[in-house]
Amino acid sequence: MIVIHTARELRKQIQLKKTSVGLVPTMGALHTGHLSLVKRASEENQLVIVSIYVNPTQFNDKKDLENYPKNLDQDLELLQSSSENIILYAPENDDIYPDGMVPKNFDFGSLALHMEGFSRPGHFDGVATVVEALLKNTTPTRAYFGEKDFQQLTIIKELNKQLKLGVEIISCPIIREKNGLAMSSRNQLLSPKDREEAKVIFKSLEAILKHAEKWTPHQMKQFFIAEVENLKGFKVEYFSVASPSDLIPVDHIEQHKMYRIFVAVYAGKTRLIDTVELKRK
């Protein structure tokens, strides 16, 4: 496995390979969910680039940035055992922000206004800035993103479309821990007790889906808050039912139409998100 820190050197390696390229962008602290993206990218491309870059401009809270888990040696070990045909791209800030650490401004319309966009102002400008840089620096055939960050995934598809980058954006299913908790690098920050109790998030979502034919979004939200906040130290930041096409929350669910439930929950000081598909027959 090759480790590269500059886009210039990366382009040289890609030109030498002259082959299909799959990009898996990450912020490190790799887990089984990331490795599932790497596996799929390896199956569908001759060369895989895994980027590791903790992007400062997408963090609203400096403490959150400081506390974000980092373990490059462990990440390298995991990738080494995952596949041989991998380039690890770990850029410096100057490689992503050549004109200074300031995010670009984007217009994604309703896609960036609600859920994460509302809770974390400016977050998606930071995300889009780094993803644009990664896509341009790596010129991949395909790029792979997990559906846990469904809103982010939708915005990246729109970014790719707006900038006419021509990359095939591949969405990959959520990988969960044995108790149902969506895998996330942030799970490492949970205490053992909170990590086990955080199963309430997915269990509650599963229960809501069983009642989806009868419950309104308001009833779903009431149930979810009651279940989650029954646990000490757990707090619901948001619960939204939204159309996956425009990501606008709804108060009424129509038959034969697709929706997604989006949630953000604090387990102690650790912020967790999840999402599930919702459809009424």
Domain 2-172 homologous superfamily, CATH = HUPs (3.40.50.620)
Residue 46 to residues 37, 87, 89: CA-CA distances in angstroms? 14, 11, 16
Residue 14: per-residue pLDDT? 86
Residue 83: per-residue pLDDT? 65
pLDDT of residue 29 exceeding 70: yes
- The share of the chain scoring above pLDDT 90, in percent, equals 85
pLDDT of residue 153 exceeding 70: yes
Q: Which two tokens stand for residue 44?
A: 């569908």
The fold of the 185-276 domain, in CATH, is Pantoate--beta-alanine Ligase; Chain: A,domain 2 (3.30.1300)
Catalytic residue among 31, 34, 114, 123: 34
Q: Tens digits of per-residue pLDDT, 66-100?
A: 889 888 889 998 898 766 689 999 999 999 999 99
pLDDT of residue 204 exceeding 80: yes
Does the annotation mark 34 as catalytic?
Answer: yes
Q: Tens digits of per-residue pLDDT, 107-146?
A: 999 999 999 999 999 999 999 999 999 999 999 999 999 9
- Per domain, the residue ranges of the chain are 2-172, 185-276
Residues 6+ apart with CB under 8 A from 150: 244, 260, 262, 275
pLDDT of residue 60 exceeding 90: no
Does 185-276 match 2-172 at the fold level?
Answer: no
Residues in the chain: 281
Q: How confident is the model at residue 1 (pLDDT cuts 50, 70, 90)?
A: confident
Three-state SS at 78? helix
Mean pLDDT of the chain: 94
